[in-house]
Amino acid sequence: MAVSAFSIPVYVSVQNGVNASYATEVRVWNDEFWDSLGRMWGLFPTRPVYMMIAKGKFGPEMGFTISYPDSFRVLIEINYPISEMRATVAHELMHVFQFAWIKRYRKMMPLWIMEGLATWYGGKEGTYTSPIGGNPFLFWSVDVLKYREYPSTEESKGEYYSEVYALFNAINERTDLEKKLPILLNDVRKGDTWQEAFSNILGENFNEFYNRWRKHILLVVIVKFASFWALWMGLPIFLLVILFIKYFHHRGIDDVKIADNDVENLEKLYGKDYWKDNNYK
């Protein structure tokens, strides 16, 4: 079976051992996303899309899209809950339309825009579980605008996806990306840089917006980091305080017992009239 628009099909298959019912679900999603993406990009791909659903540990990506001269090849990792897999399908289909746009208009698209739009669209259509972490040092070292290729380690790559996702959600809060994307793309086709085109839809200089956003998120990450360590450091301190209180409480009781014994011994030695001594009047 295939989902088609303008006679261009999306073929969905499953890896051996994967329940075939997943293919039926993914075909429905593709049909839905295809029209939505077509409106945003103002075009439809002219090569067929071959999408396979597979089991595996793909890492932070959760899917892959490769553009060939005659087709697009997409691999989707099975994720649970199912809304996460729906987000991955939306993410990868966004890449298909990006590649189609790049080929038609011969305009390069930076990595942060490729992944930023894909993560934003995936999160909009499904559940994209990639929140900013609680490590301020990792956050500061991964500046998404500076990467031309993906980060080399899995940890930094996961942070990269988290950051572009948060960035494009912030852009979407400022300006409706689904409505403004055609305007942005038109500005780039006319000769604007990507930063200039984003400045146009944001209503302010993009670099200033980005730097302000980055400082704000860094503060959020630092608070999360401090809260985490305060919890783990505060709990042992709290327990130590409780132990000290109990220890000195028992010492106080023991001192009272010792004092009582001393009085009894004094009374045995000097008699009950011991207390009538001038020193105790």
pLDDT in tens, 63-103: 899 999 999 999 998 877 889 999 999 999 999 999 999 99
Mean pLDDT score of the chain: 83
CA distances from 38 to 175, 182, 234 (A): 20, 10, 53
Paired sense of beta strands 2-5 and 8-14, if any = antiparallel
- In our burial notation (b when 16+ CB lie closer than 10 A, e otherwise), range 97-125 reads bbbbbeeeeeeebebbbbbbbbbbbbbbb
- Read off the pLDDT band of 241 (50, 70, 90): low
Report, in angstroms and rounded to the nearest whole number, the Rg of the chain calculated over CA atoms: 32
* CATH code of the region 2-203: 1.10.390
pLDDT value of residue 70:
94
- Read off the pLDDT band of 259 (50, 70, 90): low
Q: Based on the number of CB atoms within 10 Å of its own CB, is 196 exposed (0-12), middle (13-18) or buried (19 or more)?
A: middle
Which residues lie below 8 Å from residue 145, measured CB to CB, with a gap of 6+? 110, 112, 210
Question: pLDDT tens digits for 5-29?
Answer: 445 688 999 998 888 889 999 999 9
Q: Where are the domains of the chain?
A: 2-203
pLDDT value of residue 144:
94
Q: Is the pLDDT of residue 250 over 50?
A: yes
Q: Are 90 and 165 in contact (CB under 8 A)?
A: no
pLDDT value of residue 78:
86
pLDDT value of residue 1:
43
pLDDT value of residue 5:
46
Share of the chain above pLDDT 70, in %: 77
pLDDT value of residue 281:
43
